Amino acid sequence: MTPTAPTLQRLLFVMNPISGDIDKAELSDLIKEICTSRGTAAELYNTTGENDLEQLRDKVGSNAYDAVFAAGGDGTVNLVAQALVSSGVPLGILPLGSGNGLSKDLGIPQDAEQALHLVWEHQVKPLDTLEVGGHFSTHLADLGFNALIVERFSSGDTRGPGAYVRVALQEYMGYEPVHYRIVTDQETWEGEAFMLTIANARTFGSNVVINPDSRMDDGRFELCVIEPFPATAAPGILYRLYTNDFDDSEYTRRLRCRHASIEVPGQQQALVQIDGEPMHLPLPIHIAIKPQSLQVLAPPSAAE
């Protein structure tokens, strides 16, 4: 295990004012109170949605921060990670969103106050990052059914697991699998898929384990395929996704690689969700791993 690092002295907290249900003024006060009690200087930055990435890169480049914390959901984590990649400055996470996928994979407490303990109790872990169709990813991206659900969910008025499940049930019966052609540095696969996940981690924010036994620091990623299945098989597949048994179904497969290209014959673009953000990307979609390009703060007890 990586040794526990000393208490951090100068921190930047990047906060999304509209993510989660927690009162941001109270959280700001809590951050300042805890950091002051530990002799740590804490600076706050509220995202605006306009040039945040450029501004954060400038701040990181011109200030000697010991770490930068993303206080928000998966989108905020992605933003801060982009600003820090290859900088050597560690990323901390205060999870405030609906999914909080990366923080769960790292074993970070899902309560913001408990997550603040990372300031003085942590280990620094190197993580791989991904480039998916020219876009940065720290965690998971996918095409197919889940990408559609994320798009519908993002455009809705309600949040939380219940809303996500309702959208999924509404779309499931009418969803048509897509034909993909995947070329990796190891193999080529072509066929129909209900869902295709580009995974640099194990678990979705919903606690679905899409990529068991993966590592986020091994210089490889996985393409996790769920092939078309009869309705009678759906309960069994869902059960396996919540019990770490993805590989035990005849309708699932994983392709492990360092780079890949995804095509959808006959189509010019595809709907993709990257770290919880849906977008339409031109095809083919090229994916490449950037080994150990991001430093993160994890609990001292986090598994290697």
In the chain, CATH 3.40.50.10330 sits at 10-121
Q: Which two tokens stand for residue 33?
A: 């109170």
* Whether pTM exceeds 0.75: yes
- Which residues are bridge partners to 287 per DSSP? 132, 260
Give the pLDDT confidence score for residue 207 in this predicted structure.
85
DSSP string, 105-117: HTT--SSHHHHGG
Taking the chain (304 residues) in runs of 10, the rounded mean pLDDT of each run is: 64 82 78 88 92 95 94 92 95 88 92 89 95 96 93 69 70 91 98 97 88 94 97 91 91 97 97 94 98 96 64
CA triple 199-288-131, angle to 5 deg: 75
Give the pLDDT confidence score for residue 156 in this predicted structure.
64
Angstrom CA distances, 290 to 63, 118, 256, 261, stand at 25, 25, 15, 16
In the chain, CATH 2.60.200.40 sits at 135-291
Return the CATH class of domain 135-291: mainly beta
Give the pLDDT confidence score for residue 113 in this predicted structure.
87
Give the pLDDT confidence score for residue 21 in this predicted structure.
56
106's CB contacts (< 8 A; 6+ apart) are 93, 125, 296, 298, 299, 302
Q: The dihedral of CA 102, 107, 113, 119: what is its sign?
A: negative
We find that the CATH architecture of domain 10-121 is 3-Layer(aba) Sandwich (3.40)
Give the pLDDT confidence score for residue 271 in this predicted structure.
97
Give the pLDDT confidence score for residue 276 in this predicted structure.
87
Q: Which two tokens stand for residue 20?
A: 């989660």
Give the pLDDT confidence score for residue 126 in this predicted structure.
96
d(CA 78, CA 97) in angstroms, rounded, equals: 12
Give the pLDDT confidence score for residue 194 in this predicted structure.
96
Give the pLDDT confidence score for residue 1 in this predicted structure.
41
